Amino acid sequence: MPDVEKIQKYAGLAVRVGINLQKGQLLAINAPVECAPFARACVRAAFEAGAKDVRVFWKDDPCLKLRYQNAEEEALCAVSGWQLESRMEYIRQGAGWLSISASDPELFADVEPGRMQKADRASSAAFRPFSDAIMANKNPWCVMSVPTEAWAKKVFPQSADPVEELWSAIFRAVRLDEADPVEAWRQHQSRLAEQTKKLNARRFTALRYRNGLGTDLTVGLPEGHLWCGGQDRLQSGLPFTANMPTEEIFTAPHRDRVEGVLYSSLPLNHQGALIDGIRLVFEKGRVVKYSAKTGEDRLGHLLDTDEGARRLGEMALVPCGSPISEMGILFYNTLFDENASCHFALGEAYSECVEGGNSLSKEELLRRGLNDSLIHVDFMVGTEDLSITGIRADGTEEPVFENGRWAI
């Protein structure tokens, strides 16, 4: 494990750049019990930044696995009202939400996927008011990560010290190895903001994706869509950084205007099991056929979560030359892998991706073409030969990506 000073520096980056915690603000932290030392560093960093109070919500995946395997189905799908209310009280008080994403990529591989789907669907439905508030940027939120032993061994199976190697890779990905990480993040976010301006100025009505895997997909864009990237902003206007790392420029597709075939380019670690070799066929925005070389049953359960799970909620552009892609590491963690590759997400769309979206109701967002679902699951599609072509309302076209990299 890195020295205390570097861990505290990382925690400070999460609190000050990720959450952008304000003096007198509350902070809630979601953390695996294995990551307790880093969670405590974040608590310390938050109080040093002037937090009013900090609350940690602990989770333990091995205990959750035992519950998936043994609990009676009725109990497995039950969610007590206090669990939602405790989080909503923090939402109402303007708390920041810091989530530490670190898990064993294969822990749940032998759990019956149908039981997991039922339990997770019930939980997602019960916590919908909380997730809606987060996705509408009512509160600042940030997802970041630290190593666990099982995860590190999966990423670096031949290493004599996989945990230390994963720490080093994460520090590089979040720019903690820079002389001034905070300033490095400011410059990085400025570059992403400039790229979003270029895309928003184009006013494309659709993007067409093609590559050697067989992807041939045309994705329509909602009227008044917005590309976002770098910093997010609260409805109050204060900036925060939702993902650390982040290399993406993203928007919301039109839920009814996706046509063609789409192949994944990297494995998806979903709920502690791997899904690889995904193939999706879209008609009028909906997945009508699917397959996967690994985890096809889990993909099917995912797509059957609700009606919106078979539609796209996010499209994100990440060049092959991004710092994370240049590492050449498969992290088996979507937070990192999605920032090495262009990707889409099945399910819920971010309301900020359409003009005035954060003030619109679910019904109004649907009418604008944004998808609604209990899930939001990213999967990677970028390749070295990916071409993306922007299409305007008058039919004119312009290259956006050539050979997996920016063309504009």
CB neighbourhood size of 396 (10 A): 9
The answer on 318 and 222 residing in a single domain is yes
One-letter amino acid at 297 equals D
The answer on 165 and 202 residing in a single domain is no
Banded pLDDT at 321 (limits 50, 70, 90): confident
Write out pLDDT tens, residues 175-186. 999 999 999 999
pLDDT of residue 208: 98
Structural domain containing residue 158 = 4-173
Q: Is 390 a member of any domain?
A: yes
The answer on 211 and 117 residing in a single domain is no
The answer on 157 and 42 residing in a single domain is yes
The answer on 194 and 161 residing in a single domain is no
Banded pLDDT at 380 (limits 50, 70, 90): very high
Q: Is 178 a member of any domain?
A: no
The answer on 277 and 312 residing in a single domain is yes
Q: State the average pLDDT over residues 364-374.
A: 96
The answer on 204 and 164 residing in a single domain is no
Cα-to-chain-centroid distance, residue 227: 16
pLDDT of residue 230: 83
Domain-terminating residue out of 173, 193, 211: 173
Banded pLDDT at 82 (limits 50, 70, 90): very high
Handedness of CA 124, 129, 130, 134 (dihedral sign): positive
Q: Is the pLDDT of residue 4 over 90?
A: no
Helix (H, G, I), strand (E, B) or coil at 292: coil
Q: Is the pLDDT of residue 1 over 80?
A: no
> Which position has the token pair 């304000």?
22
One-letter amino acid at 309 equals A
Q: State the average pLDDT over residues 278-282.
A: 98
Residue 165 CB partners (closer than 8 Å, separation 6+): 152, 155, 156, 159
Domain-terminating residue out of 173, 204, 222: 173
**What is the DSSP secondary-structure string of 252-276?**
---TT-EEEEEE-SS-EEETTEEEB
pLDDT of residue 197: 96
The answer on 32 and 140 residing in a single domain is yes
How far lies 310's CA from each of 126, 281, 348, 375, 376, in Å? 21, 10, 10, 10, 11
The answer on 221 and 76 residing in a single domain is no
Q: Is 316 a member of any domain?
A: yes
Calculate the average pLDDT of the chain: 95
Domains identified in the chain, total number: 2
Q: Is the pLDDT of residue 3 over 90?
A: no
Domain-terminating residue out of 124, 151, 173: 173
Query: Integer distance in angstroms from the first to the last C-alpha of the chain?
Result: 41
Q: What is the dihedral of CA 323, 101, 271, 348, to 10 degrees?
A: -80
Q: State the average pLDDT over residues 28-55.
A: 97
The answer on 80 and 26 residing in a single domain is yes
Q: Is the pLDDT of residue 272 over 90?
A: no
Helix (H, G, I), strand (E, B) or coil at 135: helix
In this prediction the pTM is: 0.91
The answer on 125 and 188 residing in a single domain is no
The answer on 213 and 121 residing in a single domain is no
Question: Which ranges in 174-295 belong to alpha helices (H)?
Answer: 181-202
The CATH number of the domain where 12 resides is what?
A: 3.40.1830.10
pLDDT of residue 145: 97
